[in-house]
Amino acid sequence: VVKADNALYQAKAAGGGTSRFFDQKHAQAVQERRDLEADLRAAIERSELELALQPIVEIATGRIIGCEALARWRHPTRGSISPDEFIPMAERTGLIHELGMWIVRDACRVAKLMPEDAPVSVNVSVAQLRSASMTMEMLAIIEEFGLTPDRIEIEITESLLITRDDPAIDTAHELSRAGFPIALDDFGTGYASLNYLRKLPLNRVKIDREFTRDSIDHPDCAAIIISVVQLARTLGLDVTAEGVETEEQLAFLRSIGCGAAQGYLISRPVAETELANLFAQETSKVLAA
């Protein structure tokens, strides 16, 4: 029966109107994936995941003004598993909401250790935003930790498809009205960047790392970043450039008035104890202004 089930799985994956015979190698891969999915469910339930925290700095002063919380999974036998693997798995298996709420809960715990003016940013999927209960769940977690909503910034990935009547739009507005700052992540990678600026109740846009990476050697990328910074300033939005890795990139961003930066030049994602040490530095500066 298991072999027949695996063959059926292969046929479905290949599309309608096809048939497949049992394939041992493919069956093994399917079983490994199912085992990993079960392990992910258990890891979420047991809080075996952990957060890595990447500082975000104000370019003008070098002061840390927040951090982004990034989920990490160290599997007991497979070692470190990339978010690029386990987050799509969570979306595919319906675990994304549980994973997302775990991230929010742990981000709140981290926020309790940080200055009140330094929010923790969490990535939120469209699947989470489509949950009618999300705002109430977020508020309940915030209250549990004795925080105010402005301590947790919601990052929505710009490349995700959100349609005009998508309930995710309504949830984003609910979260904004409740006091959660909303950021548009990976800005510039999707097909409807300007439309998102109109649809979503944004406080911040985050320039995609690809534009930052190519800003020095490709004038068109530099021009796009300049335009984004100017547009954001006109709309009253903050701007963070992601993927800052060189002093030259940072100098360019400073010269055009980009507000904040994030990337390996500043700091790789770190554990909370290391983040606390960065905050303990004089005026929390990690860059020379």
pLDDT in tens, 239-248: 999 999 999 9
Rounded Cα–Cα distance for residues 161 and 163 (Å): 6
Q: What pTM does this model have?
A: 0.85
Residue whose token pair is 């981000």: 107
Q: Which two three-digit tokens encode residue 171? A: 């949830």
Judge whether 207 and 262 are in contact, CB under 8 Å. Answer: no
On the question of pLDDT at 26 being above 60, the answer is yes
Q: How many residues does the chain have?
A: 289
| CA 29 vs CA 10, 76, 85, 147: distances in Å | 11, 19, 14, 44
In this structure, the strands spanning 79-81 and 120-124 are unpaired
Nearest to 276 by CA among 146, 73, 122, 110: 110
Q: pLDDT value at position 209?
A: 94
* Residue ranges covered by each domain of the chain: 1-15+22-46, 50-284
- State the average pLDDT over residues 74-80: 87
The CATH T-level fold of domain 50-284 is: TIM Barrel (3.20.20)
